[in-house]
Amino acid sequence: MAVTATAAPPYVTIWQTTTAIVASRALQVVAELGVADQIGERPVPVQTLAEACGADAGALERVLRLLASIGIFVRHEGGYAHSDASRVLRTDAPGSMRGFARLMNLQFVNQAFTRLDHSVQTGEPAANIVDPRGIWGYLRDHPDEARIFGEAMLAKAAADIPAVLEAYDFRRFGTIADIGGGLGHLLRAILERAPESNGILFDLPEVIGSLPRATDRVTRVAGDFFRDALPSADAYILMEVLHDWSDQDCVRILSAIRRSATPGATVTVIEGIVADAGDDPRVNTLDVLMLAIPGGRERSAAELETLFVASGFKLNAVVQTAGAMKVVEGVAV
């Protein structure tokens, strides 16, 4: 059966999709300028916002008017106030999304998407035209952009983690290893729910070395999952890691886990999963992002099962959550 995304008239659908870049870029600029940080509980005049952010008042008014018309900020006669959406653009908001909005404004991302045609024609990441080393090599040489990237990933994860923890019980595992776990936000949230468990955070040396003082019940291990032995654990977590990589590299990552895992150990892949109908716009958007930037992909449960089998795991369950993520559970055989 064909999947129809909307009942809007065809010309409206094309117009809205074609011009979506306008609102997106407006949001990115406002996030870059820190406009939301200048608004508290009362409307603020545009002139005041412009002076605080180093912007032209007339131009800022036009951009904010656009964003308010789609639910980001609220327009008043006396200026602009927060909507629920604009409030999470504040730097100090819990789960702030400012970093994610800024991520999509990075020069590397912008340049890659101007060459999306290359990805569609060749199947190769357009980002490699910007830097042959790919996004990871680029970020190593651009620490300011790497910091924004990290903030964006933290914000995205913070929005997804509560639904994952409500749907999947990690308390049955004595030792839980978060592979490619970044700053450890997921692992810390899991250990809060699993007070009898201990955690291992595994990531690159530069990531582990940047972390503040170690926390109780978490062992930090620095390494590269393509080269170094992984720690032994009862359960392994891969949250939005595999989708960054090709099938071949995913098998390498999962195989490295299997070499360190005892039979019966669990691996949990937490990602957006492509549905049989293929009608989840968030997953499909991420899929094209993966195509253009790192060269990975979002996968169906069947595609993940193929990777599991090739790496010494069997698919055990696909756990739905109330959010966009699903938990795909494999068991070492």
* Residue 216: CATH number of its domain: 3.40.50.150
Q: What is the pLDDT of residue 303?
A: 97
User: In Å, how far from its chain's centre is CA 287?
Assistant: 12
Map tokens 């170094």 to a residue.
Answer: 228
Task: Decide if pLDDT at 255 tops 60.
Answer: yes
Residue 4 exposed, middle or buried by CB count within 10 Å (0-12, 13-18, 19+): exposed
Q: What is the 3-state secondary structure (H, E, C) of 168-197?
A: CCCCCCCEEEEECCCCCHHHHHHHHHCCCC
Pairing status of strand 175-179 against strand 235-239: parallel
Beta strands in 29-99 (DSSP E): 74-76, 79-81
Portion of the chain with pLDDT greater than 90, in percent:
77
Count of domains observed in the chain: 2
Largest CA distance in the chain: 66
Which of 69, 93, 117 represents a domain boundary (last residue)?
93
Confidence of residue 5 (pLDDT cuts 50, 70, 90): low
Q: What is the pLDDT of residue 1?
A: 42
- Is the same domain home to 181 and 81? no
Domain that holds residue 232: 156-332
As a whole number of angstroms, the distance between CA 53 and CA 49 comes to 6
| 134 inside domain | no
pLDDT digits (tens, 9 = 90+) for 119-175: 999 999 999 999 998 888 888 888 888 888 888 888 888 888 999 999 999 999 999
Beta strands in 205-295 (DSSP E): 218-222, 235-239, 266-271
Neighbours of 51 (CB within 10 A): 12
pLDDT digits (tens, 9 = 90+) for 53-99: 999 999 999 999 999 999 999 999 889 999 999 999 999 998 899 98
Q: What is the pLDDT of residue 152?
A: 85
Which of 78, 93, 108 represents a domain boundary (last residue)?
93
Q: Find the CATH number of the domain harbouring 20.
A: 1.10.10.10
- Is the same domain home to 84 and 183? no
- Is the same domain home to 78 and 210? no
| 139 inside domain | no
- Is the same domain home to 241 and 316? yes
- Is the same domain home to 313 and 226? yes
Rounded to 5 degrees, what are φ and ψ at 319?
-100, 120
Task: Decide if pLDDT at 212 tops 90.
Answer: no
| 189 inside domain | yes
- Is the same domain home to 88 and 193? no
Is 0.75 surpassed by the pTM of this model?
yes
User: In Å, how far from its chain's centre is CA 224?
Assistant: 20
- Is the same domain home to 173 and 317? yes
Structure tokens at 56: 């032209």
| 98 inside domain | no
As a whole number of angstroms, the distance between CA 260 and CA 223 comes to 14
| 181 inside domain | yes
- Is the same domain home to 191 and 62? no
Rounded to 5 degrees, what are φ and ψ at 240?
50, 45
- Is the same domain home to 221 and 324? yes
pLDDT, greater one: 15 or 276: 15
Structure tokens at 125: 């990441």
Active site residues: 243
As a whole number of angstroms, the distance between CA 57 and CA 125 comes to 39
| 33 inside domain | yes
- Is the same domain home to 43 and 173? no
| 256 inside domain | yes
CA distances from 168 to 86, 172, 186, 318, 329 (A): 31, 10, 13, 10, 10
- Is the same domain home to 79 and 161? no
- Three-state secondary-structure class, residue 119: helix
Structure tokens at 205: 């040396």
Task: Decide if pLDDT at 278 tops 80.
Answer: no
- Is the same domain home to 206 and 77? no
Which of 73, 93, 113 represents a domain boundary (last residue)?
93
Rounded to 5 degrees, what are φ and ψ at 206?
-70, -30
Residue type, position 5, single letter: A
* Mean pLDDT score across all residues of the chain: 92
pLDDT, greater one: 215 or 67: 67
Task: Decide if pLDDT at 227 tops 70.
Answer: yes
| 303 inside domain | yes
